[in-house]
Structure 1
Amino acid sequence: MTESLVLYSVEDRIATIALNRPEKRNALNPELIKLLTNKMLEASDDENVKVIILKANGSTFSAGADLAYLQQLQQNSLEENLADSENLKNLFLTIYKLPKVVIAQVEGHAIAGGCGLATVCDLVFSVPEANFGYTEVKLGFVPAIVSCFLMRKTSETIAKQVLLTGDLFTAAKALEYGLINFVINKEDISQNTRDFALNLCNNASSNSLMVTKQLIGQTTNPHLERSLDMAVQINAKVRESEDFKRGIASFINKEKINW
């Protein structure tokens, strides 16, 4: 494992977890997903941490899956795709159920799995220039796992619009849709996010934050784990479809596909 793919630091009871793969636009692969899950669990167990900020180095928050990863998916067996989908589910569920507040600081585009990563955080700060989008349908794929979380953050009408079209949308639209909380200029976002985290650290009980987060999750998402298990199955099975294979091939070869 390459620890430098995910950086971890703590100051003033705030853990900063940073994706550190800027040369690949912080694209997700199994190694990064596992490291990020482990760092979230480390922050959860760290007695010196009360709030977590998730950010990314470079100009992109995360561009979703990388090319080498997508190529490998084409060769995977159903069992391998199930295991791979389970790993992404575990990352998202870890963040969602973590007993500490997780704040996403989005300073660049958050696309597909990267958009999903921001979606599962408790609060999201974004720069105006960032675009968001669940682009999976354009590749013959489905945003199965993230849909389980997205449906609790926005309306069914908006969820269908963004998931079925796969279109990118601005930070301003993401704010309007209820997917993020604040749009802050690039020069101010780090300080604003940190000030917000410090306010939670200094003015809210750790136990109250934990229980309130659990309360919201359990009352709005009582069947979440059952839904996620179904999503993992769908995720893996869709990867065996001809549409998925065509979509990934066109993406890798940078060719436009006519559906």
Structure 2
Amino acid sequence: MSYTTIETDLTQGVALVWLNRPALRNAMNDVLIDETTDAVQRAIDDEAVRAIVLAGRGTAFCAGADLAWMASGRTMSPEASLADSMRLARLLRLLHDSPKPTVARVQGPAFAGGMGLVAACDVSVASTEARFCLSEVKLGLIPAMISPYVIRAMGGQQARRWFVTGEVFDAAEAWRIGFVHELVQPDGLDEAVNGIVGHLLAGGPKALGECKRLVQDMTGRPIDDAIGRETASRIARVRATDEAQEGIAAFFEKRRPAWAAADPAA
């Protein structure tokens, strides 16, 4: 597939999706969002893909929305503006709900919508040179579509501050508040991402998707008899699958399970 604003690569079961508008700090417009959505969907549909890594070319991960694109909303009808805005909502949901694990490789600034992309991924690894900002309020805007993902990532109390102040904060603060999972020196970023991916490739492909759904479905629920029955039902179903039986057999036979045979870390 030929794209104009992103680049893609498939290596050893890992789909790399590079935001590629470095001159504009990978700011998102309708084309970039649509192309990224297409690339992620294709990776989900490709049986050869086990994990998806989202990254940015140049010095920035993503500066948020392209303001020229945002300004075009002034001339749109309310219906057209809503449809246009839904582009990013669909991409964020796709990353969040992907049955294949998603990893954000954050080498530089992730502002506004760029923070939404990071938050929608399952795992985020940031360079110490990364910077973060929910800058919308300073432009008279709000971080609407990214809010469910950012709030889940950093928590409501932290979001109250960063949403209303529009301050820039560094990677150390992003790690301290739990927005990113891992913080590394710039020259160690790829090694850290590859290490995470190696762990993902060692997991059962279907089990990874089940784990994602488990976290989503259990978060915030009360611990009661209903949740006990539901979780028991889930493990009873999963342990009877061919994948689980292969994993258990591999453990007892002291060998790698079939899905991990091509693990590049082996």
TM-score range, shorter chain: 0.7 to 0.9
Mapped to 2, the partners of 1:2 and 1:44 lie a distance apart of 18
Partner of 1:220: 219
1:200 corresponds to 2:200: yes
Give the superposition deviation at 1:209: 0.5
Corresponding position of 1:19: 19
What CA distance in whole angstroms lies between the structure 2 residues aligned with 1:177 and 1:24?
28
- Name the SS for the 1:10 alignment partner: strand
Secondary structure, counterpart of 2:128 in structure 1 = coil
Q: Are the aligned partners of 1:5 and 1:21 in contact in 2 as well (CA < 8 Å)? A: yes
Task: Name the structure, 1 or 2, with higher relative contact order (CA <8 Å, separation 6+).
Answer: 1
Cα offset for 1:221?
A: 7.6
Q: Percent identity?
A: 33
Residue deviations 1:106-134, cap 9 Å, x none? Answer: 01100011111111111111111111111
CA contact (8 A) 1:54 1:105 kept: yes
Question: 1:32-77, CA deviations, whole angstroms, 9 ceiling, x for partnerless residues?
Answer: 0000011010110111111111101100111111232132122222
Task: Say if 1:96 and 1:121, in contact at 8 Å, map to a contact too.
Answer: yes
Count of residues in correspondence between the two structures: 221
Residue matched to 1:3:
3
- Name the structure 1 match of 2:132: 132
Residues 152 and 221 of structure 1 are in contact (CA less than 8 Å); yes or no, is this contact kept in structure 2?
no
> Are the counterparts in 2 of residues 136 and 143 from structure 1 also a CA contact under 8 Å?
yes
1:103 matched to 2:103: yes
In structure 1, the residue matched to 2:187 is 187
d(CA) in 1 for partners of 2:2 and 2:100?
Answer: 26
1:178-198 deviation per Cα after TM superposition (whole angstroms, max 9, x unaligned) = 110011111110122012102
Paired AA for residue 128 in structure 2: P
Per the alignment, residue 72 of structure 1 pairs with 72
CA distance in 2, matches of 1:133, 1:219: 29
SS at match of 1:60: coil
Letter of the structure 2 residue corresponding to residue 205 of structure 1: G
Distance 1:113 1:145 in 2: 8
Aligned-pair RMSD on alpha carbons?
1.6
Which amino acid counterpart does residue 139 of structure 1 have in structure 2?
A: L
Residue 152 of structure 2 is aligned to residue 141 of structure 1: no
Distance in 2 separating the partners of 1:93 and 1:104: 15
- Which runs of structure 2 are paired with 1:115-126 in the superposition (5 Å)? 115-126=115-126
1:215 is matched by which residue type in structure 2?
A: L
Unpaired runs of 5+ in structure 2?
222-266
Q: Deviations over 1:158-195 (max 9, x none)?
A: 01011111111111101111110011111110122012
- Between structure 1 and structure 2, the one with the greater Rg is 2
Tell me the residue number matched to 1:92: 92
Contact 2:115–2:150 (8 Å) recurs in 1:
no
Stretches (4+) displaced over 3 A? none
| Structure 2 residue identity aligned to 1:140 | G
Contact 2:104–2:118 under 8 Å retained in 1: yes
Residue 214 and residue 181 in structure 1: after superposition, are their counterparts in 2 closer, same or farther (change >3 A)?
same
Contact 1:14/1:198, CA 8 A, preserved across alignment:
no
Alignment partner, residue 208 of structure 2: 209
Inter-partner Cα distance in structure 1 for 2:162 and 2:83? 27
Could you tell me how far apart the structure 2 residues matched to 1:158 and 1:213 are?
24
Q: Which residue of 2 aligns with 1:165?
A: 165
**Cα shift readout 1:196-255 (whole Å, capped 9, x = no counterpart):** 102210x21111101000111223389xxxxxxxxxxxxxxxxxxxxxxxxxxxxxxxxx
Tell me by how many angstroms 1:104 deviates. 0.3
Distance apart, 1:2 and its partner CA = 6.5
SS at match of 2:61: strand
* Cα offset, 1:155, TM superposition: 2.5
C-alpha distance in structure 1 between counterparts of 2:33 and 2:220, whole Å = 23
Distance 1:194 1:171, change over 3 A: same
One-letter amino acid of the structure 2 residue matched with residue 220 of structure 1: T
| Residue 152 (structure 1) aligned with residue 152 (structure 2) | yes
TM-score by length of 2: 0.80
Once residues 67 and 159 of structure 2 are traced to their aligned partners in structure 1, the CA distance between those partners, rounded to angstroms, is: 27
User: Distance between the aligned counterparts of 2:113 and 2:220, measured in 1?
Assistant: 20
